[in-house]
């Protein structure tokens, strides 16, 4: 549920927007924004994307070092 949108900063072609979302996990919203190539300035504890990438990277490093 979208609770609010606020334009925090405008600088030429760059616009910084603050989005307030209520209820449930915001992970799906963050993933959708990334899919459309939006830059996420701030994360949230529900954002599992970065943690998943770190875990996969560690697994790959272990595999390559065998």
pLDDT band per the 50, 70, 90 thresholds, residue 44: low
- Residue 48 in contact with residue 27, Cβ under 8 Å? yes
Q: What is the mean pLDDT of the chain?
A: 83
pTM: 0.53
Domain range summary for the chain, segments of one domain joined by +: 2-64
Residue 47 backbone dihedrals phi, psi, to 5 degrees = -80, 100
- Residue 51 DSSP symbol: H
For 2-26, how does the pLDDT look when each residue is reduced to its tens digit (9 = 90+)?
A: 788 889 889 988 899 888 887 766 7
* CB-based contacts of 49, cutoff 8 Å, min separation 6: 27, 30, 31, 34
Contacts 24+ apart (CB under 8 A), 32-39: none
Q: Is the pLDDT reported for residue 45 higher than 70?
A: no
């Amino acid at each position: 549920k979208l609770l609010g949108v606020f334009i925090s900063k405008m600088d030429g072609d760059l616009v910084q927007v603050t989005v307030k979302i209520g209820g449930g996990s915001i992970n799906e919203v963050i993933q959708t924004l990334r899919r459309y190539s939006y830059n996420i300035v701030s994360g949230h504890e529900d954002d599992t994307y970065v943690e998943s990438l770190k875990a996969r990277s560690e697994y790959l490093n272990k595999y390559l070092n065998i």
